[in-house]
Amino acid sequence: MPIYHAPIDDMRFILNDVFNASEFWQQMPALEHVDSDTVDMILEAMAKFATTTLLPLNRTGDEEGAQYLGDGKVKTPAGFAEAFHEYAEGGWIGLGGDMEYGGQGMPKMVTMLAEEMVFTTNQSFALYPNLSGGAAMCLLNAGSDEQKQTYLEKIYSGEWSGTMCLTEPHAGTDLGIIKTRAVPNDDGSYALTGTKIFITAGEHDLTQNIIHLVLAKTPNAPAGSKGISLFVVPKFLVNADGSLGERNSLACGSIEHKMGIKASATCVMNFDGAKGWMIGEENTGLASMFIMMNYERLTMGLQGIGGTELAYQNAALYANDRVQGRADHGTQDPNKPSDIPVNYADPIVHHADVRRMLLNAKAVSEASRCFAMYVAKQLDIYKFSSDKAAKKAAADRVALLTPVSKAFLTDRALEATIDCQQVFGGHGYIREWGMEQIVRDTRISQIYEGTNGVQSLDLLGRKVAKNGGAFVETYLAEMRDFAQTMQADHAVKQAILTSTDTLADLTQNVLEQIQHKPDAINGCAVDYLAAFGYVSFAYMFGLMVEAAHGKAGEFYTNKAKLADYFVARMLPRLQGHVAMVKAGTDPIMAFDNGYFSQEA
C-alpha cells in the first residue's frame, strides 16, 4: 500500500511565507476568527484523518468498487460509510461553509489544503463530500432564503449530500440541447422528466438524503443554452418541519464501470416526473450552475496535486530503497571500500534519469500547490473584501485562471504520475505497488468538469479574445512588477521577465490569427493554455524563491534548487508550445474529413 506523509511544512510555507496569510486574514473583518494556531490544528487534524482513515481505504475501495444492487440502490465499498460519518462529524464538509447555516467560515486558502490531503489519500472518497460542497455553494449564491434554510445546514452537517446533474446521453459539452423537461405544477414546484448520465455520487448509502441540482428546460423555453433553468430535486421530499417525507420520483438506473475512481459511484439518474423547485430565475440555470462548475474545476486542480504528491512520495521512497546499477560518478556508499566488487549496486536515486523523473513530479507538486493557493487567495479577496475595486480585480483574475487551474494542473499531474510510475520500472505496472491506481484515478481529472480541451477554449475564447487580452496583460504586469523588485539573486527572476514577454507576444499573435481564421481558437487553444501555464509556474517559483530568500536551512535552499531545475529543465517547453501556436491551424485543417473515416 502506498505511504503518505502530509507535506505540512510546505503548506505552512506557502500560507505563511509566500502569501502572508495571517496578515491577510487580519485585514478582513469577516475572517477575524481565523488565526495561524487554528489553521495549524486544522491541518494536523486533517493530516491524521487522511493518513489513518482514508489512505487504508484507497486500495480496498478500488478493488471492491461501488456496487449497483438493483432497484435503484448503490452500495459504497466497505469502510466508506464509517469514514464519511467520521468526516462529517469532524465538521469537514462545512469547513468553508457559511456560518449562518452551520458552516465554519474558513477561507479557501485553508480549505484547499484540507481538500488536497483528502484527494491525495483517496480520490474516490473525496468526490462524495466535494460534490456536497459545490451544491451548497450554488444554493448559497443562487438559492432562495427558503432553499438555503431547508438544505444548507443538512448538507454542511453531512446528514444530506449534493450532486450536480448536467450531462445527458446526447449532450455533454453542448448543454443547450438537453432534453430533460420541467413542467410547472399547481403548487409552484415543477415535474422533471429526463435522464442524466455521469452523475458523481448520484446514489449511495452515505447520507439520509441526496439533493440533486438538475438542469432542465421549461415549456416554451428559448432554444439553446439561453433556455436552461436549474432545479433543486431531493431524493426524499422534505416536510415543512425539516423531516424527510416520501420518496421522490427519481432513481439510479445503473452505475458506470470505469478505468479509475472505482469507489466513486458514477450514476445514470432517471427522473420520472420528479418534484423539484427552481433555483433563481427561469432560463438563468446555466449561470447558476456555473457557480458550482467553477468550484469543481478549481477542485480538480487539487485532485491533480493530490495524485502528483502521492505518486512522488512513493516513487522517492522506492528510488532510495531500490538497489540497481552503479552510480556513474562512483559508489555512494561511504562504507564500501574503493575496490568494491563489480556487481555492487547503488540505490537508483543516484541515477540522473531517475532524479529527472522525480524532480519533474516534485516541481509540478510544489508549483501547483502555490498556484492553487494564489487562486484561493483571489477567491477570498472576492468573498471577504469590502473594497469593490479589489473584489472586481480578484473576480477577473479568478475567471482568467480557473481554466488554467483545472487543465494545466491536471495535465501536468498525469504526466508526473506516469513519471513516478516509471521510476518503479516493471513494478510500477504491477497492482501491488499502488502506482497504477494513482495513474488510473488521476486520469479522469483531465476529462470531467469540462475536458481540458474545453478549458483551453474557455481560456482563449472567453477570457483572452473576448476582452482583447486585457485580463492577460494585467496578470503579466503583476508578474513583471514582482520580478523587477525581487531581492533574491536567482535565474527565475530573468525567466519571469523573459517568459512574460514571450506570452504577451504570443497573445497578440493568436489574437491576430483569430481575426482571420475562425478555427484558430480551436486549433491553438491547448498549446496556448500550456504556454500560459508554464509562465504561471515560473511566477510561482519566483514567489517561493523570494519567500525563502535569506532564510537558513536546507528546506529553504531546496526551494531555490528546485526553481533552478524548473527554469533549466521544464520552462524551455514554453518555446515548443509557442512554436505550435504560431504555426497556426493550416497543418491541422489540411486534411479532408474522409481521411479520418474507417475506409481511408
Q: What are the grid coordinates assigned to 237, written together?
A: 421530499
Cα–Cα distance for residue pair 527/517, rounded to 1 Å: 17
Please state, in angstroms and rounded to a whole number, the distance separating the CA atoms of residues 365 and 416.
9
Of 397, 416, 406, 398, whose CA–CA distance to 451 is shortest? 406
Cβ(163)–Cβ(211) under 8 Å? yes
Cell of 570: 521544464
Q: Which three cell numbers stand for residue 270?
A: 432517471
Q: Which amino acid is at 213?
A: L
Give the 3-state secondary structure of residue 253. Answer: strand
DSSP class per residue in 140-181? HHHS-HHHHHHHHHHHHHTSEEEEEE--BTTBSS-GGG---E
What SS3 class is residue 279?
strand
Containing 37, the helix (H) or strand (E) segment is helix 36-49
Task: Give 10-27 as a DSSP string.
Answer: HHHIIIIIIS-HHHHHHT
DSSP 249: S
Q: Report the alpha-carbon distance of residue 520 to residue 236 in Å, rounded.
A: 48
Largest CA distance in the chain: 92
**Nearest C-alpha neighbor of 479 from the set 452, 498, 458, 507:** 498
Enter the C-alpha cell of residue 121.
489519500
DSSP 327: -
SS3 231: strand
Encoded amino acid at 597, one letter? S
Q: Residue 266 forms beta bridges with which residues?
A: 200
Instruction: Return d(Cα 62, Cα 57) in angstroms, integer.
Output: 8
CB-CB neighbours of 154 under 10 Å? 24
Mapping DSSP to helix (H, G, I), strand (E, B) and coil, where does residue 345 land?
Answer: coil
Catalytic residue from among 116, 153, 168, 449: 449
DSSP state of 208: S
Sign of the dihedral through C-alpha 354, 355, 356, 361: positive
Rounded to whole angstroms, the Cα distance separating 127 from 407 reads 18
What are the residue ranges of helices labelled H in 65-213?
A: 80-89, 108-121, 123-142, 145-157
153 included as an active-site residue: no
Identify which of 469, 465, 494 has the alpha carbon closest to the alpha carbon of residue 482.
494
Say what the alpha-carbon torsion angle 295, 297, 298, 303 is, to the nearest 10 degrees: 120
Retrieve residue 337's grid coordinates.
571500500
Q: Which residues are catalytic?
A: 449
